[in-house]
Structure formats: C-alpha cells, structure tokens
Structure 1
Amino acid sequence: MHFSAHGPEPPPEARFRYDELVDAVRDRLPACGSTSVVAVDGPSGSGKSELADTLARRLEATILRVDELVPGWHGLAAMPPVVARDLLAPLAAGEVAEVRRWNWIDDEPGERVALRPGRFLVLDGCGSGSRVIRPYLTLLVWVDAPEETRRERAMARDGAVFEPWWDVWAAQERALFAAEQTQAAADVRLRSG
C-alpha cells in the first residue's frame, strides 16, 4: 500500500487544474468522519495514478491504491464493499481501519495493513468511486483516455503481468462502471492522452 505520493510535479499548464481540484477538496466538508476522501476512478491506463499522486502530494494526504485490495483478476466487483466496510466505515467512526492486501504474485490474500484517520485520503483505482463508497467521498474524479492510449500505458507499466489479463480486466471494468454509473456520478471528469 502506498502511503505517500511519488512522481514529478505537473507541468505549469496543468497546475491550474490541480489547484482547482485541491481547492475543491479543501473547500468541502469531510464525509468520512474527520477525513476528506477523494476517489480517482476510471479505466486502467487512463492516468489515475499520476493524478492521485499529485493530489496526494498537494494535500499531504495518505494514498491507497485500491487495486491492492482486489481479490484476484476476477474480483474487481468484490473490492468496493470491502473498502466501504473495512476501511471507510471505521475511519468515519474515528477508528483505525484494517484492510488486507491481495498478494498478486501468489494469487492469495496477503498482509493486513492498518490505516489511521487523517485529514485527507486519496483512493486511487478502478472501482474507488462505486456507489457503496460514495457516501464517504468528498470528491469523485473520473479519468479516462482513448482505449489504445490506455492499453499502451498499462502494458508499458505492467505488461508482463497484465498482458494475459487485459481483456478479462477490461470486461470487469466496463461491467462495474455501467452498473455503478461512476462517470455520471463524478464531480470532475478529465480526459488524458
């Protein structure tokens, strides 16, 4: 689980949009106890992580990659209820939350990780803006890009592992996003690439 933001600062022309997003988060009341939670959702390879990293750095926020909680290549739809129940509900109550990572190498449940309530939390990943999570969100950001661009980015990042699963994962994303109406529910919609 990544609890700090990484990566370079965005170029000057992109800073205006980041400033707007940071201001939007800071101007809204937290919806998860005392924690303001931002979800950065969208299909794989769309640019979510870069955006989430920059927001987390600007907000001095904890960042959680929700794909680390998905129970395997066929388990995308199982993740949102776990995030709501095991992570966000305890944080909203001011309690330490405990979640179990998925061990992608051995394809089995991995270590448990504790997360304390804080001022800001950024959720990065597919499914982070699902209906069951939305009551806890301060801001939902949808990020998308053309499919060819997304696939190229995903393969450059995780090609050896992701290549055989791209179609399986993409089908789950489409089904989840259609059922959840995530894009329509987003407070902010961005397109990259």
Structure 2
Amino acid sequence: MRRVADRDWTDTVARLVHAAPAGPAGNRLVTVDGFSGAGKSTRARALADRLEAPLLEIEDLCPGWDGLPRVPALARRGIGDPLAAGTTLRWRSWDWVHERPGPERTLAPPAVVVLEGCGSGAAELAPVTSLAIWVEASADERERRLHGRADWPGYAPYRDGWRRAEQELARSGGAPERADLVLDG
C-alpha cells in the first residue's frame, strides 16, 4: 500500500491508473473507498476530472439505508463485470427521496471508470479493479464534516446504522488493507 500526499496528487494517481493493469477489454476500474465524511467524493471528483472519466457513485445503486451490505455484489454485476467485458454498464438506481428503486442507468464502457463510495473497494470487486484507493480522515473530522453537510438532517437518523454497516463492510471486505493507495481526505 502506498500513501500519496503530494500537492499534485491527481497527476501522480493518474499516472498510476494508466500504468495499472487493464481488464480483458482494455478498460480500467478505479475505486475510491473510505468511511462517510472521509473526503471520498471530493477526491474522486478531482481524479475523474483529471482522467476525463465518468464518476459513478455507490449511493446511486445502494438500495436504501439498509442496502450497503449488498453494494459490492450490485456494483460487480452492474459495473465491474460489464466494464471488464467491454459491454454496457447497467444498474438500477435508488430514489432516496421516495425510498424505492429508481430508473435503470446505462453507460457505454469507457476506458476508465471512477467508482466512489463505501464498499467500492470491497473484496468482491477486487478481480475487476485496476486501482483501489482508500481515503482516510480521523473519526472526529469525518463527523464534523457530516454534521456540516446540507443533507445532514436527512442523514442523521440513519447515521448509526450506516456507520455500523460501513465498518462491517470494511472489516469483512478488507478494503483498507487491500488498497493500492491511501489518500488523506
């Protein structure tokens, strides 16, 4: 595992992405995992911009507040496997406002996909992942950030359950230990 902390981290990581092994169809899946509030979204957005790659968010396919344990299998089936095969990525989105399945989403297989969110670095996705990134921040900093978000009032009632689910997913899936890179959030 390598820690990247330089100011030009996007350039460094972009070079590592392009040097990472591609899947059978020549595509690369980059995962950006970490606990809520660690800075995953910010890091993933900057990296996707630098790579000119689509950014897909785990939250788009996570089936509700208790759905996090199912995320790795859903992401593998709808994003990882199709990308590796060079076929259309296809997944059912989740409508968080109405708490029900949303529309199906599709994406033609690009050269690189950045997949961001809790569970994106799980063991189930490892065989189709070119580069796994873990984003770290202290527990106090993560909570401070979460409380400062505009969506905190809607998230707050589910925080304890979500925290337990993401910690269990990190433990059972080994994402922090398996990460190729660690970034400070």
The two structures share one fold, judged by TM-score above 0.5: yes
Which residue does the alignment assign to 1:174?
Answer: 167
1:32, 1:136 within 8 Å by CA — same for their partners in 2? no
Which residue does the alignment assign to 1:21?
Answer: 13
Give the structure-1-normalised TM-score: 0.89
**2:147 is equivalent to residue 163 of structure 1:** no
Please give the alpha-carbon distance, in whole angstroms, between the structure 1 residues aligned to 2:73 and 2:25.
18
Which residue does the alignment assign to 1:8?
Answer: none
Which residue does the alignment assign to 1:85?
Answer: 77
User: 1:35-67, CA deviations, whole angstroms, 9 ceiling, x for partnerless residues?
Assistant: 111100000000001110010001000110111
| Paired residue total | 180
Please give the alpha-carbon distance, in whole angstroms, between the structure 1 residues aligned to 2:24 and 2:93.
21
State the SS of the aligned residue for 1:133: helix
Q: In the TM superposition, what is the alpha-carbon distance from 1:133 to its structure 2 partner? A: 0.7
82, 90, 95: which one pairs with 1:98? 90
1:32, 1:91 within 8 Å by CA — same for their partners in 2? no
43, 49, 55: which one pairs with 2:41? 49
Which residue does the alignment assign to 1:128?
Answer: 120
Q: In the TM superposition, what is the alpha-carbon distance from 1:170 to its structure 2 partner? A: 0.3
Which residue does the alignment assign to 1:107?
Answer: 99
Look up the equivalent residue of 1:114 and give its one-letter code.
Answer: T
Please give the alpha-carbon distance, in whole angstroms, between the structure 2 residues aligned to 1:66 and 1:32.
23
Please give the alpha-carbon distance, in whole angstroms, between the structure 1 residues aligned to 2:24 and 2:159.
33
Q: In the TM superposition, what is the alpha-carbon distance from 1:103 to its structure 2 partner? A: 0.7
55, 58, 61: which one pairs with 1:69? 61
Please give the alpha-carbon distance, in whole angstroms, between the structure 2 residues aligned to 1:35 and 1:66.
19
Look up the equivalent residue of 1:92 and give its one-letter code.
Answer: A
**More RCO (CA 8 Å, sep 6+):** 2
* RMSD, matched Cα: 1.4
Q: In the TM superposition, what is the alpha-carbon distance from 1:116 to its structure 2 partner? A: 0.9
Q: In the TM superposition, what is the alpha-carbon distance from 1:151 to its structure 2 partner? A: 1.4
User: 1:133-164, CA deviations, whole angstroms, 9 ceiling, x for partnerless residues?
Assistant: 11111110001111121112122222111111
Give the structure-2-normalised TM-score: 0.92
Stretches of 4+ moved more than 3 A in 1?
none
Which residue does the alignment assign to 1:191?
Answer: 184
